[in-house]
Amino acid sequence: MKNTPIQLHVVTRIVAFIILIFSIFLFFAGHNNPGGGFIGGLMTASALVLLYLSFDLKTIKRVLPFDYAYVIGAGLLLATLTGVAGMFFGFPYLTQFFEYFQLPILGETELTTALPFDLGIYLVVVGFTLLVILTVAEDDS
Amino acid sequence: MLSTVAAISLFLMAGSIVICTVRALIGPSAPDRIVALDTIGIILIGFIAILMIVQDTIAYAEVALVIAILAFIGSVAIAKFVEGGIVLDRDRH
């Protein structure tokens, strides 16, 4: 067993979750403030890259058993279906609707159809970034 | 008064970034470059903070956080590369 970077492990276990919480904040801050699916996805990807840096590929593959190519596909499908959903009611493609609701804890909240679209972008960005980085890292030649 | 202090700080930080860039370019060894790049990231965070004071806004708070995270992860990655020559190891045990 090689020398294990114990400080890096300890710091990663705390910092990765702080970055994940920050990425969720950025994801929901979007649409009216700086933030949104793209930058939220990039922050999630950087948290996962930190995990891959600190631990090894085999361990994280056991913890996160995703094939990132399918994550890209799921995100694209979700974004496209959100755009198509408006067409069933006679509106143009990607028309967005929003409404204010009273939610239990959050109070008055704006719910838009841009949110599932943003979730699709989020999944595409996370999947693409990690797929590129891991493909480069696993290249032997 | 505060705006004068802020202007002086911004000038000093800009000069520090230039000096760090020179060190990152000519740095004889790789650890010199790593420390220079990490310092540029930290100075940028302070730069943005003073800019927020000058403009009396909190709009750039996320920018400072994102730069901090990216600088940290970049430093970890380059440090791992310098230490072992391999950034993402496949199986450590």
Q: Note the ipTM here.
A: 0.81
The average pLDDT across B20-44 equals: 91
Backbone CA torsion sign across B43, B44, B49, B53: positive
Distance CA A75, CA A124 (A): 5
What is the longest distance spanned by two Cα atoms in chain B? 59
Give the per-residue pLDDT at A47: 93
Domain residues of chain B, as ranges? 2-84
Chosen from A12, A49, A129 to mutate, greatest number of chain B CBs within 10 A: A49
DSSP-derived letter for residue B29 is S
Spell out which residues of chain B touch residue A39, defining contact as CB-CB under 8 Å. 66
User: Would A75 be classed as within a structural domain?
Assistant: yes
Q: What is the structure's pLDDT at B81?
A: 85
Domains in chain A, number: 1
pLDDT for res B54? 92
Q: Which of B48, B57, B66, B91 to mutate: most A Cβ within 10 Å?
A: B66
pLDDT score, position A3: 66
Chain A nearest-CA distance from B59, in A, is 8
- Tell if the CB–CB gap between B73 and A138 is shorter than 8 Å: no
Name the band, by pLDDT with cuts 50, 70 and 90, for residue B50: very high
Q: Which pLDDT score, from 0 to 100, does residue A77 have?
A: 93
Q: Give the span between the Cα atoms of A29 and B40, in whole angstroms.
A: 28
A103 falls within a domain? yes
Mean of pLDDT values over B19-44? 91
Q: Among B63, B67, B72, B76, pick the best mutation site for testing chain A contact (most A Cβ within 10 A).
A: B76
Q: How close does chain A come to B61, measured CA to CA in Å?
A: 10
Q: For chains A and B, count residue pairs whose Cβ atoms are closer than 8 Å.
A: 53
Residues from chain B that touch A40, judged by Cβ atoms under 8 A, are none
Residue A112, SS3 per DSSP: strand
Of residues A2, A46, A137, nearest to B88 (C-beta): A137
**Residue A101 token pair:** 């609701």
Specify the higher pLDDT residue, B91 or A26: A26
3-class state of residue A139 by DSSP = coil
Q: How confident is the model at residue B53 (pLDDT cuts 50, 70, 90)?
A: very high
pLDDT of residue B22: 95
**Which long-range contacts (C-beta less than 8 Å, at least 24 apart) are formed by A11-17?**
A11/A54, A12/A50, A12/A51, A12/A53, A12/A54, A12/A55, A15/A50, A15/B72, A16/A47, A16/A48, A16/A50, A16/A51, A17/A47
Contact A100, A109 (CB under 8 A): yes
pLDDT tens, A4-37?
778 888 999 999 999 999 999 999 887 777 888 8
DSSP string, A38-103: HHHHHHHHHHHHHHHHHS-HHHHHHHS---HHHHHHHHHHHHHHHHHHGGGGTPPTT---EEEEEE
Q: Is the pLDDT of residue B68 over 70?
A: yes
Closest CA to A71 of A138, A120, A9: A120
**pLDDT given at position A1:** 46
pLDDT one-digit tens code per residue, B7-26? 999 999 999 999 999 999 99
- Whether A32 is covered by a domain: the verdict is yes
CB atoms A53 and B92 under 8 Å: no
One-letter amino acid of B78: I
Given a cut of 50, the residues of chain A with pLDDT beneath it are 1
DSSP structural state of residue A32? T
| Residue span of the structural domain in which A101 resides | 6-138
Chain A CB within 8 Å of residue B56 CB: no
Q: Is beta strand A98-103 parallel, antiparallel or unpaired with respect to A107-112?
A: antiparallel
Average pLDDT, chain B: 89
Domain assignment present for A129 = yes
Phi, then psi, of B91 in degrees rounded to 5: -145, 110
Of A114, A138, A140, A133, nearest in space to A45 by CA: A133
Q: Looking at the partner chain, which of B62, B89, B90 has a beta carbon nearest the beta carbon of A35? A: B62
